[in-house]
Amino acid sequence: MLTIENLHKTYHTHTVLHQVTLELPLGQVLAVLGRSGCGKTTLLKTVAGLLVPDAGSINWAGASMEAAPPRNREMVYLSQEPLLFPHLSVFENIAYGLRVRKEAEVQAKVERMLQELELQEHAQKKPAQLSGGQRQRVAFGRAIIFLPRVLLLDEPFASLDAQTRASMQQLFLRLARKYSITALFVTHDVKEALLIGDRFAYMAAGKLRIYTSGEAFMEDPTTGVRDELAFWNSINHKITNLP
Amino acid sequence: MGRKILTAILATAILLPFLFFGMLSVGQAWFYPSVLPQRFTLANWQELLAGQSELQVSLLLSVILGLGVAILSTVAGFVISREIARAKYKNRWLLLAYWPFVLSPVVLAILVQRFFLLTGMSGEVIGVLLGQLILAFPFAVIFFQSFWSHEVLQLEQQSQTLGATAVYTLQKVLLPLARPLLLICFFQTFLISWFEYGLTQFIGVGKVKTLPILVFKYVNEANSSHAALASLLIMLPPALLLWTNKKFIFRGI
């Protein structure tokens, strides 16, 4: 289980993370909804070990991650941009984490992952030859192939068009269930949060609010779920009243 | 047609000095109004190729200094520019890197000469090497700033979260990405050292005789054939560089 307690981070005088506390059991996806600049990226990067918190603790299965460098945390950060290694082929990008760990059967594992991602015919292509959605799929495959402890997803589908985004969300759900992925999934899209999350949280001005249930998340007016539902209801009403 | 003429003009402009200095290095008794020298001899070239001639020593010294400056400044420039790119006050550090160029090499040479005298490095090869690094190292630091973009720094972080050590990231990600820039920087800093005169003269106090020092010496002695031969040797590395990159250089014409 990932346990974060009273995580605090400031830049100059601006507080970016304010006593953030959460618990994330194995195989669960916590969807964190929040607007731009609310501290979501800082939270994920701090958990990944890429930023140092001013105070608070991050524990995995009871063990402190404080002294662990990013490479030893097994917590992969995935940003909005796929950040593929441009000089490596799709195959080598996906194999990267396995090669780092000197794992056996790299060929077979990568081929299986390519099949899962429906990218078999693109294995030898360079990232520049792929579409945005394909690149994001490669990044996703590269992150989960060695089964990390936690996936830290920072609005991973935000730069994709609606159709590709929907197919990526389905792919994520399928693979998250298959591999029992534990993930912190940050998004500013209400629908995406509802679709992806097993648990829900809302972040504003560095403060994280965890909800006890999906209903509680939907009922809270600050999350904007009710506004979203009202909008779609009004559209539905308009359509049904058309002559 | 126009492209061919332009290529011919450019090739002539590059080759003509070689032809002229080549002729001067083998010619003897070349007086006005003769179009060609009255006698030809390979004595200067034989002197270069055989025995411990001044030119041979100078050529070797220039190559060693050039390689030393190129390797040290490229490696140090790559590493330090990364630290500057990640630093909180990036621009302050970069300002320091511009300092030697703002002062001009001659003024810089006068300023640092006392330090080299006090440390006993004046007139020594190590002193000249350090002196040339004062110019080549900041050049490399500024040069690599374009490489350490936000994207590259993010790729480095990505590699770390995927479990890679700093060394693995360097080998598998950073060096392959930086390879073209590393090569260019290596050649450029080699050429900075290869052509350097002011700092070398000041710090070397005439004892460290690199090829540019020797050219000026021969010119002052009115030894035109030796000066021509030394000039040919100086022009060789950039000519090789041009030759290896001819595809790119002549393509845009």
pLDDT in tens, B134-157: 999 999 999 999 999 999 999 999
Q: Identify the pLDDT of residue B25.
A: 86
**pLDDT band for position B247 (50/70/90)?**
low
Q: Which structural domain range is residue A53 located in?
A: 2-210
Q: How far is CA A198 from CA A24, A141, B30, in A?
A: 10, 21, 92
Helix (H) and strand (E) counts in chain B = 13, 2
Q: What is the CATH number of the domain that holds A63?
A: 3.40.50.300
Q: Is residue A84 part of a domain?
A: yes
**pLDDT band for position B49 (50/70/90)?**
confident
Mean pLDDT score of chain B: 88
Nearest chain A CA: its distance from B164 CA (Å): 6
User: Which residues in chain A are contacts of B158 at CB distance < 8 A?
Assistant: 77, 83
Q: Identify the pLDDT of residue B142.
A: 94
**pLDDT band for position B69 (50/70/90)?**
very high
**Which residues, 6+ apart, have CB-to-CB distance to B152 below 8 Å?**
B174, B177
Distance, CA of A140 to CA of B149 (rounded, Å)? 23
Is the pLDDT at A116 greater than 60? The verdict is yes
Portion of chain B with pLDDT greater than 70, in percent = 97
Type and span of the H or E element at A116:
helix A106-116
User: Which residues in chain B are contacts of A46 at CB distance < 8 A?
Assistant: none
Cβ atoms of residues B168 and B85 within 8 Å:
no
User: Which residues in chain B are contacts of A146 at CB distance < 8 A?
Assistant: 162-163
Q: Is residue A228 part of a domain?
A: no
Maximum Cα–Cα distance across chain A: 66
Nearest chain A CA: its distance from B157 CA (Å): 7
User: Which residues in chain B are contacts of A96 at CB distance < 8 A?
Assistant: 159, 162, 164, 172
Nearest CA in chain A to B163: A71
Q: Identify the pLDDT of residue B250.
A: 62
In the predicted model, what is the mean pLDDT of residues B111-126?
Answer: 89
Give the other-Cβ count within 10 Å of A125's Cβ: 15
Q: Is residue A234 part of a domain?
A: no
Please judge whether B155 and A50 are an interchain contact, meaning their C-beta atoms are less than 8 angstroms apart.
no
Q: Is residue A238 part of a domain?
A: no
Question: Domains of chain B by range and CATH?
Answer: 53-244 (1.10.3720.10)
Please judge whether B157 and A70 are an interchain contact, meaning their C-beta atoms are less than 8 angstroms apart.
yes
Type and span of the H or E element at A158:
none
User: Which residues in chain B are contacts of A70 at CB distance < 8 A?
Assistant: 157, 160-161
- HEC profile for B200-218? HHHHHCCCCCCHHHHHHHH
The domain total for chain A is 1
Q: Is residue A165 part of a domain?
A: yes
Find residues 154-193 of chain B whose CB sits inside 8 Å of chain A.
154-155, 157-165, 168, 172-173, 176-177
State the best of A51, A52, A71 to mutate against chain B, taking most chain B CBs within 10 Å.
A71
What tens digit of pLDDT does each residue of A189-226 get?
A: 888 888 889 999 999 888 889 988 888 888 888 887 77
Give the other-Cβ count within 10 Å of B156's Cβ: 19
Q: Is B215 exposed, middle or buried (0-12, 13-18, 19+ CB in 10 A)?
A: buried
Please judge whether B161 and A76 are an interchain contact, meaning their C-beta atoms are less than 8 angstroms apart.
yes
Q: Is residue A167 part of a domain?
A: yes
Nearest Cβ partner of A100 from B151, B154, B168?
B168
Q: Identify the pLDDT of residue B248.
A: 63
Q: Identify the pLDDT of residue B252.
A: 58
Q: Identify the pLDDT of residue A243.
A: 67
What is the residue-wise DSSP string for B24-43?
A: HHHEES--TT-SS-SEE--H
Is the pLDDT at B70 greater than 90? The verdict is yes
In the predicted model, what is the mean pLDDT of residues A94-122?
Answer: 92
Please judge whether A73 and B155 are an interchain contact, meaning their C-beta atoms are less than 8 angstroms apart.
no
Nearest CA in chain B to A75: B161
Please judge whether A77 and B158 are an interchain contact, meaning their C-beta atoms are less than 8 angstroms apart.
yes
What tens digit of pLDDT does each residue of A7-50 get?
A: 999 988 888 899 999 999 999 999 999 888 888 899 999 999 99
Distance, CA of B244 to CA of A155 (rounded, Å)? 46
What tens digit of pLDDT does each residue of B73-85 get?
A: 999 999 999 999 9
In the predicted model, what is the mean pLDDT of residues B96-119?
Answer: 85
ipTM of the complex: 0.86
Q: Is residue A239 part of a domain?
A: no
Q: Identify the pLDDT of residue A91.
A: 97
Q: Is residue A50 part of a domain?
A: yes
